[in-house]
Amino acid sequence: MKTIATEQERLVWHTASEGVQLYQAAATSAAVEVLKAPALGLIAELHRRFDEERRALLKSRDRRQAAIDAGGLPGYLDPDSEAVAGDWRVAPIPSDLLRRRVEITGPANNAKMVINMLSRNAVGDRADTAMLDFEDSMKPTWQNVIAGVHNVKQAAEGTLTHIQPARNGSTESIYALDPDDAAVIMVRVRGLHLEESNLRIDGRPVAGGLMDLVLTMVHAAGPLITRGRTPKVYVPKCEHHIEARWWNQVFRAVQEGLGLPIGTLRATFLIETLPAAFQMEEILFEIRQHAAGLNVGRWDKIFSDIKVLRRHPDRVLADRASIGMERPWMRAYAQRLVQICHRRGALAIGGMAAFTPGKSERSRQQQTAKVLADKQLEASLGHDGCWVSHPYFIGAAMSAFERDNQTDIVDPDADLCPDLLPESTGPRTMMGLRTNLRVGIGYLEGWNRGLGCVAWDNLMEDLATLEISRAQTWQWLNHHVRLDDGSTVNEDLVRKIFDEELARIHHDIEHKLGPVSPEVVARVQATFSAAKEDAAKIFLHQELTPFLATASDLAEQTRVSTTEPLRRGY
């Protein structure tokens, strides 16, 4: 249904064509460049074909969640369906996607980071593939999205450069991509639930993921194909095989719109929700024409475990830091993904090593040992590759994977229907609660500055880990969890710890900023004080809403509004 704009809205919306409006502040020269034909027309065409169904799929999510809140549990589907019982395999995987031992990820909007992800690190190690992200590691401000599209385009062409100006006594630095020695480019688009507020068709905002897909395919598919590379996307947050069917239909329509053969585009779906963990085979079946693999998105999976089973008192999870792949339900989920992918001819990609290099040699050695142990475990389970968040750890991760892939590892006796429901175990500690709240402050301080990932306490915290932190705090609050030291989690305790962690952060700022004026210290501290207030409102919200945000800001907005947390978008 077409909405009627107010007179004030008409003044700030630019009508690009019949029924297509771009928020006036978003009509920058950089945006106009990436939206030129055929991009904007294809976005409008696909929105009109697919958005009604997308909205219906989101409503179906709500209905399924209501049934689980009422006492139900997610589970396996029909074992006799074609997806499970049929004799099928995914389309043969292109040769450039058969070696994905280490994939590095980061925000698409930061040109310097994109170049570093695609290039060799200081000791000569290079990831096989690099995922340029429009989702969890990038806040989807309009400026970031448009910058991300430009970076993807130039990376695909092999022309991406970045000039870092001289400052504080340093000299100017020039970063440039070597197109003949670069990782394979992949793009992660936004999830089904995220809308782009700055572009609306027939009165409704477009789906962020649809826009990301169209723009990056329009501008990067041709250059990639010319250079013998496969256009490749990652799809996050899928919850049901019918959603995978929707994406597959969109893939076909994009390729048809660009005159590309069906199957040119390839996709890896992140299996990072509890419902999807039960439907891996059905999801892979739906995308079999375009499949490159599935991925164990373990951080978002922990968030989903909490969110989906939030009303079940017998499924209250332990400290987030204690939930690793050795937990039975996490290990079963990873093993199931490996076996299903390999039986069907797809790659199985493991999870993220979220470290950022520590300041001391000792801390970096400890981190490297942990990364190596984690990746050796994933390799032993049969994964074909893994993720890292920082170039420093590429070498350690790569050493765990001795072959291009392990798709030949198939266990004919593997249990393909294991128990995937999380167990309610300890530890549940004061330190775990402190970590959740401290991450909330640190992450939202960066989010308020337009960042989607922040280096925090030697870890790369992105939206997934923020979501775990807020969901776990909500779960512990609402089930009145008694911590291992005897404390009961309640609102007073949460507020007290928020204040204590903010005081610690302020103390750290005073001692680590270096020789700067008291005014500068006070300004930095004020940004964390504001973030603490935002975090407290979000973490203490009465209802656990599905996501931190479901829509991007309008282009001229720069500050988070928490009067209606989790609904309006940030």
Which pLDDT tens digit goes with each residue over 527-556?
Answer: 999 999 999 999 999 999 999 999 999 997
Please check the confidence at residue 568 and state whether its pLDDT lies above 80.
no
pLDDT confidence band for 11 (50 / 70 / 90)? low
- Do 162 and 218 touch, CB atoms closer than 8 A? no
Among the listed residues 256, 255, 259, the one whose alpha carbon sits nearest the alpha carbon of residue 267: 255
Give the CATH H-level superfamily of domain 430-539: Malate synthase, domain III (1.20.1220.12)
User: What does the CA dihedral 298, 303, 304, 305 come to, rounded to 10 degrees?
Assistant: 90
Question: What does the pLDDT look like over 383-435, one tens digit per residue?
Answer: 999 999 999 999 999 999 999 999 999 999 999 999 999 999 999 999 999 99
Higher per-residue pLDDT: 222 or 3:
222
Percent of the chain's residues with pLDDT above 90: 90
Flag whether pLDDT at 5 surpasses 60: no
Q: Tell me which of 128, 319, 384, 462 is the catalytic residue.
A: 462
pLDDT-based confidence at residue 165 (cuts at 50, 70, 90):
confident
Question: Could you tell me where in the chain the CATH 3.20.20.360 domains are found?
Answer: 46-161+173-399
Task: State the pLDDT confidence band at 166, using cuts at 50, 70 and 90.
Answer: confident
Global pTM reads 0.94
Contact 444, 454 (CB under 8 A): no
Count CA atoms within 13 Å of residue 199 on its CB side: 29
462 is catalytic: yes
| pLDDT at site 532 | 98
DSSP-assigned letters across all residues of 225-255: HHTT---EEEE----SHHHHHHHHHHHHHHH
Q: Which of 544, 560, 322 is nearest to 433 (CA)?
A: 322
Cα 298 from chain centre: 11
- pLDDT tens string 249-308: 999 999 999 999 999 999 999 999 999 999 999 999 999 999 999 999 999 999 999 999
> Which residue bears the tokens 């009303």?
311
55 is catalytic: no
342 HSE (CA, 13 A, CB side): 23
Longest dimension (CA), the chain: 70
Which candidate in 54, 101, 188, 229 is catalytic? 188
Average pLDDT, integer, range 444-455: 96
**486-529 residue pLDDT tens:** 999 999 999 999 999 999 999 999 988 878 888 999 999 999 99
Count the helices and strands in the chain (H runs, E runs): 19, 16
More confident residue, 567 or 231: 231
Q: What is the CATH number of domain 46-161+173-399?
A: 3.20.20.360
* Positions of CATH 1.20.1220.12 in the chain: 430-539
Q: How far is CA 205 from the centre of its chain?
A: 21
